[in-house]
Each structure stands twice: as C-alpha cells, then as structure tokens.
Amino acid sequence: MENNTIAPRHASSRIWYVLGGILSIFVGFYAMNRPGLATLAVTKVIGILLLASGIVLFVAAVFGKARKHRWLDFLSAALRIAVGLILMTNIIEAVLTITLVLGIVFIIEGIFSLALGFGVRGKNPAWGWVLLNGVASLLLGGMLLMQWPESSLWAIGLLFGINCLFSGFALIMYGTALPKAQDA
C-alpha cells in the first residue's frame, strides 16, 4: 500500500522550490521581453549592491570592535564602493565587463547543475530537468563568450532571462518531485 502523504520535511522545501521557480520564470519572461532594460537593470543593481555593501563594511570597520583586521575591512570597503560607483557611472564599460563575467558564471553554473543532475539520478525523477538546466547554462555561457563584446548591450538581459526561465522550470520540476524523491 502506497502512502501519498508528503513528508513534513519535503512539504516545506517543496513550496519554496515551486515558488522560486514561478518567480524565476516571471523574471525570465520579463527580461527576455525587454533585454536592453534588463541589461541596464542588472548592471545598476550590481553597482548598487556593491556600493551598499561597501558602505556597510566601512561602517562596521569604523564602529566594530575587531581591531586586528580593521585595515583589511577598510580596503575591502573602499574596493566595493569604488567598483559600485564605477558600475553605476560607466554603464557601457560595466555592461561589457559584466557580460564577460556572466558568460563565465553560466558555464560554472552549468557544470554544477550537470554534477547535481547526475548526483540525484535515480533518487529524484526530475534529475533530467536539472541536467537540461546544466546543458542550457553551458550553451548560453559559451554563446555569450564567443560573441563578446558585440552583443553585450542586449545579451546580458536576454541570456539572464533565458537562464531564469530554465532555472525556474528546473526548480518547479524538482520541487514537485520531492514527495517522490528518495532523500536527494
């Protein structure tokens, strides 16, 4: 007799995977529809995050109690603030640089997804979707690096959108398969 109830540990994980997948798909479609805007948005957000984290680190270095590495915190804060400002004020150079980095990240993510897909093979029925995500990430990263820098203005947004779409589907399939999975 088969028990169709979801184990409590899978039930809470399941909803987060599915919700994350739905959000990822929504973001992916939006970015694919407006790749230039998505490119600029991703670049600005990275700049803002670096600037904000640099300011927080600077404040922590000034008011923190750890004195032994305070100068390293100041250097790290200065680097984050400087790079954040550069990204926000030199958008074209930032887009070119981020395009290059994004291509590398997609390739690394593809390798990790392939490893995860093969790692959960036989334990989770959605392992093929995770594997497909890895292949798609590798292809997208390779395309991006081969066409760099010509397509940088729209490529970040479009490829980010496509990657979000595949990641979203993989998350949904993985989450919905959790009740059937064997401790993956």
Residue with the two structure tokens 């690394």: 108
Q: At what angle do helices 35-63 and 152-177 cross, to 10 degrees?
A: 80
pLDDT of the chain, 184 residues: tens digit per residue: 445 555 556 667 889 999 999 999 999 999 999 999 999 998 899 999 999 999 999 999 898 877 777 888 899 999 999 999 999 999 989 999 888 998 899 999 999 999 999 999 999 898 999 999 999 999 989 988 999 998 788 888 887 898 899 999 999 999 888 776 655 5
Rounded Cα distance, 139 and 107, in Å? 8
Task: For residue 28, give the nearest of 140, 177, 138 by alpha carbon.
Answer: 140
Helix (H, G, I), strand (E, B) or coil at 177: helix
Q: What is the pLDDT of residue 37?
A: 93
Q: What is the pLDDT of residue 67?
A: 74
Q: What is the pLDDT of residue 182?
A: 58
N-to-C CA span, the chain: 23
Task: State the pTM of this model.
Answer: 0.64
DSSP 122-151: TT-TTHHHHHHHHHHHHHHHHHHHHSTTTT
Q: What is the pLDDT of residue 102?
A: 84
Q: How many Cα atoms sit within 13 Å of 104 on the Cβ side? A: 6
